[in-house]
Each structure stands twice: as structure tokens, then as C-alpha cells.
Amino acid sequence: MPYDFSPAVGRKKRILIVDDSAAVRQALSSIIASDPALEVMGVAPDPYAAAKRIREEVPDAIILDIEMPKMDGLTFLRKLMSQRPIPVVICSTLTEDGSSAMVAALEAGAVDVINKPRIDTAQALRESTVHICDVARAAAQARPGLARVARVAPPAVKIEKKLTADAVLPSRPLRRAPSGSTGPIVCIGASTGGTEALREVLMELPYNCPATVIVQHMPEKFTAAFSSRLDGLCAPEIKEAANGDAVIPGRVLIAPGNRHMMLERIGSSYRVAIKDGPRVSRHRPSVDVLFRSAAQNAGHSALGILMTGMGDDGAQGLLEMRGAGAATIAQDEASCVVFGMPKAAIDLGAAAKVVSLHRIAREIGAFASRAEMVQE
């Protein structure tokens, strides 16, 4: 008998927490309970206890540790996805070694990755609470293994003021770059569900693809392993961006976790600046920051693409790119894991096109071809 994962109207989303640390289970339980849209269905110290609890009641989402006794989280995730797919968020203390396991978890079907909650300072606790609740709410509305996912409701927890890109990069009057003065550049933003969506897009790009810069919401120390994994699968060079990296054809730069990335123009060439700063649109790195810098420095030479993800980060930035003459695309609802960021952009009128995931690589190719014709 197939399991019905459609959400019941009006009820809270039920979260199962699986972690061998009692302190972490308690911290996560308190955080989830603080969100009026969520409730803790149960806690388990290991996958065997979790499996027993799932047989009694199916949760809307699971928050799962990787390193546990008896059975590691990755093995449990793979068994779960093959037998009874449930949205899973990996929650772990990230290290360089551990980040490789996170990549494997995403490939196995996890919808997102988060850090274990920080409780060392009040500010860290506030940030952890907002982010974990956001991710849990998005995951609870996802349908694992399927393309279509429910729309994510606005965040229920309002703890700190939501900042715009002005907090990192002040707005300024947009100036159109001279025609043909620079090569084409592609700017992509993604969040929940984006890691696998990006893999699908980048694997279709040729070795000489347009210069590409990407903000994918993910924790610190994870982006290096993610970039390395993609570099081994894809024809273009793919690397975690470092301050001052050249933005050139055949190279894809991915913003490092917990740092903002901005596009800078030096004459007829581009480079990236990697900077600290407050969270913008609740994220660091922020898609809005990258897209604003592209609007200011690339204008009509750029293509902006906003892909699957919760919230609205990137929507305003994509609108600014369109106003500067850039081509703009939003991923369609049917192929999104979470139709939040693209929907916000569409509602603002920021997306000139709305396309499915499998068409995005072709749109990038068509954009590059048009740019070459203009330069000739």
C-alpha cells in the first residue's frame, strides 16, 4: 500500500529528530517547538529506534545526524529512501572530512544540510533557530524523489530584522555596459533542492561554457567538498570561489559557505570578491547580493537564473538584473523541490522566462550563442 505524504490542512508539520547526543536532541526539540507551524513527533538516539518510531507514525520530515552508533546516518538514509521515502535534513557538525559525507547524503536523497545548533551565544542561537525552522518547514513540504513540491509558507519565526542587499552592497544608478565590451556571464542562485538541480545543469554544460558564478545556500566548510565533487563530474572547471578569483569562460565559481560573493568588473574582465557581512534575506551567502553586483557590473552581458529554494532570496536581485538589461530566468514550479525563491521572483515580474530544470542548460547555451553573435 503506497504511503500518502500529502499534508493535512491546518495541522502542524511533524518532525522526527535522530541524533545520538541527548543535548543535541534537546536543543533541536526546543528549536522546533518554538515554531508554531512545527511539532516534534519524536526523538531517537539511533536509526534502529527511529525505524521503530516510523513504523508507528510517519513524520513529515526527519532531522538526521550522520555519525551515530549501531548504524550511521548515511546507511539509514539510503535504506529509508529505497523503502519508505521521507524528506530528510542532515544535521551534523561539519568538518572537512564530514563534508564529503554530506555530499553523499544529498546524492542519496537528503533535501538539505544544516549545522548542529549553536548555543554558545544569544546571536548564534537566534540564527540557528531561524535557519533550522526554515529548513524543517521547507523539508516537511517536500516530496522526496519527485519533481513537484508544495509551495513553502512564509517563515513563522520572526526573530531578527530581515536585511536587504543594502546591508552589504549599496544600490546605485545602473549603467549599461558598452555592447560587446565583455563576455557573457551566468549568475545562478539556489537553495533547498539546489545541490542536485545544479549537478543536473552543470553536467550538461560544455568545457567552454560561459563564465558562471553560483550562490547555493549551504553551511560553511561544505562548499569545498561540493565543488570538488561537481568538478569531478562536469566538463567545466568547478571550484569554491576565493577572493580575487578570475571569472572566465570554462570556469564555475561557487560561493563559500558563510561568506558573501560579489561580481567585480576590472576593465573588460571580471573577478569575484568574497566578503563577510550580515545575513541578507536571511542568508550568507545571499543570492540578492550576487545578483545586485551583477546588475551593477555586468548589466546586459549577464544571465540571471533563480532555481529551487525556500524564501525569497534572489527575487529582488533578479528584478534588478532585469532592470539593468540582463536576461532572467526562474525555474518552474513542476521541477522545483521547493517553489519559494522562483515564485517570489515571478510574482515581482523579475523573470523574463520560466522554464523547467531540464531546459536550463539549453537556455545557458542559447544565451552564450546570442552573446557571440553580438560580439562578432
Domains located in the chain, CATH noted: 13-140 (3.40.50.2300), 179-375 (3.40.50.180)
In terms of average pLDDT, the best of 69-73, 219-223, 351-355 is: 351-355
**Catalytic (active site) residue 191:** yes
pLDDT of residue 1: 31
pLDDT band at 169 (very low <50, low <70, confident <90, very high): confident
Q: At what angle do helices 96-108 and 194-202 cross, to 10 degrees?
A: 80
Give yes or no for residue 313 having a pLDDT over 60: yes
Instruction: Single out the catalytic residue among 65, 313, 332, 335.
Output: 313
Across residues 207-218, what is the average pLDDT?
Answer: 96
How much is the pTM?
A: 0.83
* Residue among 301, 294, 315, 284 nearest 216 (CA): 284
**Catalytic (active site) residue 288:** no
pLDDT tens readout for residues 229-269: 999 999 999 999 999 999 999 999 999 999 999 999 998 89
Instruction: Single out the catalytic residue among 92, 99, 191, 301.
Output: 191
Say which residues have a Cβ less than 8 Å from residue 348's Cβ, sequence separation at least 6.
315, 316, 318, 319
**Catalytic (active site) residue 34:** no
